[in-house]
Amino acid sequence: MAKSIPVLLILVVLATLGSSLQAGPAPQPVPSHTVPLQSFPRDHRFATISGDPTKSGALYLIRIHSEMGYIIMPHIHPEDEHITVLKGSWALGMGDRFNPGVLETMEVGTYGLVAKKMAHFGFSRTEAIVQVHGIGPFTTTWITPLYALTEAGVLLSTSAADRGRPTSTFPAGCFDMKLGSHTSGTHGEGVVIGAECTPGQLTQYRIREQTGEVFWAVRKELTTP
């Protein structure tokens, strides 16, 4: 009986080795080559998907979230801009002044091309996500400097990347509605939480409804109690 113990141990060891050899190394996770369309967090507008949009001569791909009713005022880019709508209904127009009469509607899957240094503007008919690709740098320079009404006061900026510098003076009529004002319009009613003014063209207000949903509307579309 004592002599059979080593034989038993050898059989157990061989069986264990056999199982290890058959199992092989642990499988490694397969890297993903796709980027699904995801919802943007509230107040988050921009996401880099590939490349570096700030680098000159480099390929890039970004996604931009736009709230319903928002007007992207006339601006230019230093390189060609390739636009594809991924979600919602968007619109594109050419010119150095905002003109709703020349907007071309872009539904999901529609592609638009804007040549470098061509003045253009956009409008979100609904909440939308657009995908932009091209060769960097991707910078947005306003044709007319833009005033923004924020909780930090009124800020003046010349580009989308410019956070703006505080200013105590701005054109009359830019912000006749203040933060916290109650208002209603075509898209609903709520409270003013921000605004943008392009002098000589329009002022648009950012409105938060009681549900938490947010939309934009130009001043002439809004009424106050």
Q: What tens digit of pLDDT does each residue of 6-57 get?
A: 655 544 444 554 555 455 566 667 677 788 888 877 778 899 999 999 999 9
Instruction: Report the alpha-carbon angle 169-175-178, nearest 5.
Output: 110
Region 187-199: mean pLDDT is: 95
The one-letter code for the residue type at 50 is S
The model carries a pTM of 0.84
Question: Which among 152, 222, 157, 167 has a CA at the least distance from the CA of 196?
Answer: 157
How much is the pLDDT for 217?
97
Peptide bond into 137 cis (omega under 30): yes
Fold classification of 46-139 is Jelly Rolls (2.60.120)
Region 146-173: mean pLDDT is: 93
Residue tagged 């703006």 (tokens): 164
How much is the pLDDT for 21?
46
Domain ranges of the chain: 46-139, 142-221
Contact status, residue 176 vs residue 220, Cβ threshold 8 Å = no
Question: Which among 100, 72, 122 has a CA at the least distance from the CA of 221?
Answer: 100
Region 183-201: mean pLDDT is: 94
Tens of pLDDT, residue by residue over 102-117, are 999 999 999 999 999 9
Question: Exposed, middle or buried: residue 147 (CB in 10 Å: 0-12, 13-18, 19+)?
Answer: buried
Cα separation of 33 and 31, whole Å? Answer: 7
Question: Which among 135, 106, 120, 129 has a CA at the least distance from the CA of 37?
Answer: 129
